[in-house]
Structure 1
């Protein structure tokens, strides 16, 4: 089972009330993934359940209470060290955005609803909002915006270099007037070339090339910097064998077979070489038996695998070099 499936099994074993309490502490993306995993789990053997619970027990025993109530500790230490006046600004820069309820709620909304909410705002406001979202969600939102707006917004995201805490709080208050908040999480350091590259990674090839081409027309150097930081499916061929093996443990076999259709032969060779002989044979036979696959399905499967790459890289489970540095 993947890590998400193991977490889903654990929550189902806890019972409804306890599982609900855990889910309240998570962000929108985590809740969606766990909910989908729980909905697709049909049966769990006693051995699998014992393994999941034993792993949790081992992980729990290795943890400490350090980090609990860290915000209050940071405030008190900084005030004692620097005094109330000097510490005030530093505390804002460190902890501001941790209560951005209005902006955080956007992560629970459908991309079309977010687009409708911001489409009449200034492009700079759009850029800040989209930079705050997860890259895959932001990519879906951009698809809902007028074509003439997309390039302007991506260009502004790429040139964002953080925003003042007061501006983030003001934007949060505007959003919060329209709906109630959900989760306390966030940061004032949003935007930048890496964020723009990550968003483009989650777009289909047609929209990606159109937007990137328009950015190059306006600012060739910036367009090249964005492309250099993008990690595309063919870049999997550049990863080392241990990284590929770790990735394959988290990728469903049916998605892998579709994603490899039309991929660079080096990627296919890399993947097959890092599978057992039996698994590689099954994958090859499945690809041959499946017949023609729509390009949109191939690109969707590739984006899903790239999302897994990013998640593993962000968690520090794998390390990416070269173009993949945008995910680290």
Structure 2
């Protein structure tokens, strides 16, 4: 039996190999639907109940790229073999398109809403974990110890290990004890925590503070052509005197070296690599 044509990501043999992974049943079914294509896949999906549709759609939306060898192995389980092919790619968009071919729009939206939520939650925790540990610690200091414990159990152990010491010994001990005793957090409480993280932490942490913005401008001016900087300096001193003065205080110029004693100069020269010193003296 000839297999239908399968849409692929490409057949460039020079591309980096796709790592093998352990596939669950729903993921194998999702690969089969992707190999069948939207039209045939939609026709087959009409024969399934809603529970199976949700499982396969959820798997397809997060499938990503699957190695060609694993695609072949999956198809062999269905008594078919795909040879000389590239990987198949599952994504949220592909799953949505396939569903809309045979389900009413409101039903598709309902299924995708149930799936999109967990995907967004994973993105939230990934972004939260990437914040500076002092930002996370400052937020947790104002939260109830049980809430802080729930949050730290949802980040990586590396992040938690960096944040806990910043909370103070007593607070750290209390939170650790709660983390040890903690059982599963009810869904409604976890949802409230995630909403708080999104609204109170992520929304504000993405905006630089005035001090951070001034430091960015100081770094920019340090790298700006000296003639151009000399040209715009009088204008900025006239229009933004206070802000520009704060920025200049954060800048480092060779004029600052005059105020450093010989011992300080020697310390600087010892700490700076030869490559950096060569560039600085050009």
**Shared topology, TM-score over 0.5?**
no
TM-score, normalised by the number of residues in structure 2? 0.34
Structure of greater relative contact order (alpha carbons < 8 Å, 6+ residues apart): 1
Greater Rg by CA: 2
